[in-house]
Structures are given as structure tokens and as C-alpha cells.
């Protein structure tokens, strides 16, 4: 009985240990700030974001830590979420950014609004609340960003799709990046999930643009192949937005096009000319990189040896031809010009000095 109880206790402790989250994301200290212990650590996305846990799952959420850091009379509150790769961290960063935020040089990309600072580095997103803003706040947070864990090089590249959103006329901090239906609903996209067909693994980037008539939304959807994009473009063209509440007419019309595997559309307060001008700035550009080693016949040692002996044979043949040519010229010259070119007469007088005498 004692052995059975002991084994049960060991198994229970192992289960509790397995339920504990992994090591925290945040360093023990940075720039003189020390972490207050214990911090809050969890692998549940609802603990990190109670309002949008499904969105964090779509971005590849793995774990979360919230902690307070103190230095003298200073206190900083830090919340950090880790994702499977930099794409997830960038997507969550784009969701939480606000229009009033200003760009900061912190981590891979940072924004600030008063005492709140939002930044991501690698696959970690950090939301920082400062007790007060000082001249060294940005430098302190750069040290925090440098101390965050980093992903493998293959998971450290942010998505390239947002680069297709034109910069001119874009509202500050209005761009969003979406990977699933929860994110699509959270950002208020102009197309529903059934039209985009998330079974085809699309990526979505959208932003708000200033126009002469107000604000318009540009949405760019990337599909794995141009064929899937062409099929989805037909679905987009057939879609009719529902009317606004209390309005008998359908919702705002939109203009769409396909370029390669991308489908782009403009909707909102924009004239047809402005919508076409905005769409004309979205053009797919394929970058092909060939990183597989190519082999040449010269890389084969057998071919090298054959080439050496071939060169020797050519040189011998060349020497033979030159020898025959020189001998033939000599014989021909002796026949045409006897005793004049190559041979001398027998009675050629030799001058002798006779030094012995």
C-alpha cells in the first residue's frame, strides 16, 4: 500500500509539473530594472488576451508572461507573448497598433502613445506600460528587446505581403495582417470568410487610405497559386455586400483585380478613378532564388583526365603536322633551288688560321 501511495504521489507531482508553463519570456533584469517575482506565466491565449484568444491561436501563440520591473522608485509593467515565428508576432503587432501611435526605433518595429509602448522583436510581441516617460525610456526598452529570446533563422522573417500596401495616402498605423477568420472578423474586413476561403490558406493585408471623398480600404489577399487567386477573384466579383442597417440598398461597391497569386480590392469612399489608381499600385513581383548547387561536366575527375589526354593528342598531332610541313618545304626547296638554300657546294673554301705554325 505504501508503494502504491508513493507511486500515486509521484505521478501526481509529475502531472502538476507537466501542467506548469515553460520558462518565462522576460529577462531577470535589463538596464538596471529587476523583475519582481513571481511573474504571471501561461500557455493559454485567453490569459494573454481574454477578448481575442482565437486570433492569437491563428497567429501561432505559444506562451505568455506578464511581470513588473523596478529600479529605485521606477516601475515598468511588461506583457510579452511568444509566437511560432515572426509572422505571428508581426500579425499581432499590427492588430494592437493604434492610429495615434508614433513610430519608435525599438526591436524590429515599435510604436508608442504616451506611456504605452508596443514593439515586437523576432517572434515575441511586447506591450509595455511606463510609470513615466523619460529621455532614456527608449534606450532602456531597446535593452529589453535585445534580451528577449529569438527564433531560429528560418522563423525570423516577417511576412512580405504588407509590403504590397502602397505608402502614399495610407493612414498612420492603419495596416492590418490577418491569417484566419477570427482576425478577419476582428479587423472589420470588407469580405466575409466564406468568400476568401481560408481552406486555401490565404494571407490578408489591408489598410485605410485617404481619398478625395473620405476614406477607402485597400485589401490584398495572397493565395498559394495564381489559379486559386483567379477562382477567388470570380467569387469576389460575384459577392454583394449586405446593406447597412435601415438602408434598402446594398453595401458599398468595390473594385477588384488579380495580379499573379494576389487579389486586390478597394472599397469605401473613393471615386472610380481613385480606386483604379490605388489598385494600379498593387502589382505582384516574383523573386526567384536558385540556391541548389549546379553540377558541370568539369566537376567530374574522369572528364578532367580525358580532357588532359585529349589536349596531349592535339599537341602531338600539331607537332606532326608542323614536322611534315617543315620537311616538305625543305625537300621542295632542294628540288627548286639545289645547292642554294639548305646545302652548300663541296668545293666551298674554308678559311684556316693555321695557328700552330
Domain boundary among 224, 249, 279: 279
Whether the per-residue pLDDT at 193 is higher than 70: the answer is yes
> Span 319-332, mean pLDDT?
84
Q: Considering only 94-103, 107-116, 229-238, 345-354, which range has the smallest mean pLDDT?
A: 345-354
Distance, C-alpha 215 to centroid of its chain: 30
Q: What are the strands, taking DSSP E only, across the chain?
A: 29-30, 33-35, 40-42, 61-71, 74-83, 102-104, 109-113, 116-121, 124-130, 176-178, 203-211, 214-222, 254-259, 262-268
The answer on 307 and 251 residing in a single domain is no
What SS3 string covers 145-186?
HHHCCCCCHHHCCCCCHHHHCCCCCECCCCCEEECCHHHHHH
Query: How far apart are alpha carbons 86 and 109 in whole angstroms?
Result: 11
Phi and psi at residue 303, in whole multiples of 5°? -65, -35
**Could you tell me the CA-to-CA distances from 136 to 31, 80, 114, 130 in Å, in that order?**
10, 21, 14, 12
Query: How far apart are alpha carbons 64 and 202 in whole angstroms?
Result: 27
The answer on 237 and 170 residing in a single domain is yes
pLDDT band of residue 5 (cuts 50, 70, 90) is: very low
Whether the per-residue pLDDT at 202 is higher than 90: the answer is yes
The answer on 315 and 186 residing in a single domain is no
Whether the per-residue pLDDT at 336 is higher than 90: the answer is no
Q: Which three cell numbers stand for residue 137?
A: 525610456
Query: How far apart are alpha carbons 179 and 84 in whole angstroms?
Result: 13
Q: Which residues contact 279 (CB under 8 A, 6 or more apart)?
A: 218, 255, 256, 257, 264, 265, 266
In b/e form, how buried is each residue of 301-314, taking b as 16+ CB within 10 angstroms?
eeeeeeeeeeeeee
279 close to 257: Cβ distance less than 8 angstroms? yes
The answer as to whether 352 is a domain residue is yes
> Span 257-271, mean pLDDT?
93
The answer as to whether 54 is a domain residue is yes
How many domains, the chain? 3
The answer on 151 and 177 residing in a single domain is no
Look at residue 16 in the predicted model and tell me its pLDDT: 34
The answer on 192 and 309 residing in a single domain is no
Look at residue 246 in the predicted model and tell me its pLDDT: 60
- The larger pLDDT score, comparing residue 222 to residue 20, is at 222
Domain boundary among 279, 312, 340: 279
> Span 138-153, mean pLDDT?
95
> Span 136-157, mean pLDDT?
94
- Residue 58: CATH number of its domain: 3.40.1000
The answer on 197 and 324 residing in a single domain is no
What SS3 string covers 48-61?
HCCCCHHHHHHCCE
Query: How far apart are alpha carbons 271 and 255 in whole angstroms?
Result: 10
The answer as to whether 296 is a domain residue is no
Phi and psi at residue 112, in whole multiples of 5°? -140, 150
Look at residue 148 in the predicted model and tell me its pLDDT: 96
The answer on 151 and 24 residing in a single domain is yes
Q: Considering only 65-69, 289-293, 312-316, 350-354, which range has the smallest mean pLDDT?
A: 289-293
- Number of helical H runs and strand E runs in the chain: 10, 14
pLDDT band of residue 341 (cuts 50, 70, 90) is: low
- The residue count of the chain comes to 357
> Span 136-164, mean pLDDT?
94
Distance, C-alpha 262 to centroid of its chain: 17
pLDDT band of residue 299 (cuts 50, 70, 90) is: low
Over the chain, what is the mean pLDDT? 85
Whether the per-residue pLDDT at 89 is higher than 60: the answer is yes
DSSP state of 104: E
DSSP codes of every residue in 9-52: HHHHHHHHHHHS--S-SS-SEETTEEE-SSPEEES-HHHH-SS-
Look at residue 186 in the predicted model and tell me its pLDDT: 94
The answer as to whether 289 is a domain residue is no
Look at residue 115 in the predicted model and tell me its pLDDT: 94
Domain encompassing residue 84: 17-155
The answer on 355 and 268 residing in a single domain is no
Amino acid at each position: 500500500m505504501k508503494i502504491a501511495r508513493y507511486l500515486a504521489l509521484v505521478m501526481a507531482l509529475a502531472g502538476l509539473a507537466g501542467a506548469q508553463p515553460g520558462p518565462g519570456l522576460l529577462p531577470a533584469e535589463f538596464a538596471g530594472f529587476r523583475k519582481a517575482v513571481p511573474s504571471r506565466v501561461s500557455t493559454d491565449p485567453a490569459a494573454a488576451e481574454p477578448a481575442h484568444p482565437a486570433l492569437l491561436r491563428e497567429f501561432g501563440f505559444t506562451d505568455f508572461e506578464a511581470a513588473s520591473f523596478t529600479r529605485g522608485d521606477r516601475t515598468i509593467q511588461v506583457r510579452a507573448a511568444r509566437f511560432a515565428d515572426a509572422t505571428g508576432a508581426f500579425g499581432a503587432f499590427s492588430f494592437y497598433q493604434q492610429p495615434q501611435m508614433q513610430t519608435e526605433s525599438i526591436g524590429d518595429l515599435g510604436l508608442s502613445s504616451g506611456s504605452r509602448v508596443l514593439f515586437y522583436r523576432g517572434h515575441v510581441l511586447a506591450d509595455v506600460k511606463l510609470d513615466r516617460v523619460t529621455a532614456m525610456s527608449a534606450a532602456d526598452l531597446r535593452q529589453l528587446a535585445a534580451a528577449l529570446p529569438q527564433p531560429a533563422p528560418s522563423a525570423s522573417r516577417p511576412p512580405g505581403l504588407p509590403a504590397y500596401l502602397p505608402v502614399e495616402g495610407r493612414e498612420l498605423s492603419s495596416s492590418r495582417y490577418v491569417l484566419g477568420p477570427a482576425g478577419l472578423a476582428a479587423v472589420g474586413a470588407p469580405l466575409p470568410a466564406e468568400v476568401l476561403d481560408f481552406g486555401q490558406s490565404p494571407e490578408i493585408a489591408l489598410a485605410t487610405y485617404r481619398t478625395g471623398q473620405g476614406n477607402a480600404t485597400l485589401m490584398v489577399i495572397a493565395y498559394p497559386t495564381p489559379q486559386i487567386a483567379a477562382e477567388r477573384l470570380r467569387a469576389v466579383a460575384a459577392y454583394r455586400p449586405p446593406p447597412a442597417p435601415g438602408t434598402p440598398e446594398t453595401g458599398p461597391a468595390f473594385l477588384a483585380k488579380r495580379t499573379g497569386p494576389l487579389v486586390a480590392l478597394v472599397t469605401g469612399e473613393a471615386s472610380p478613378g481613385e480606386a483604379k489608381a490605388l489598385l494600379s499600385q498593387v502589382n505582384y513581383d516574383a523573386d526567384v532564388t536558385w540556391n541548389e548547387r549546379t553540377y558541370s561536366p568539369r566537376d567530374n575527375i574522369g572528364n578532367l583526365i580525358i580532357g588532359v589526354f585529349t589536349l596531349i593528342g592535339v599537341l602531338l598531332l600539331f607537332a606532326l603536322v608542323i614536322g611534315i610541313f617543315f620537311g616538305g618545304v625543305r625537300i621542295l626547296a632542294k628540288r627548286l633551288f639545289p645547292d642554294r638554300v639548305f646545302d652548300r657546294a663541296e668545293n666551298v673554301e674554308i678559311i684556316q688560321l693555321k695557328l700552330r705554325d
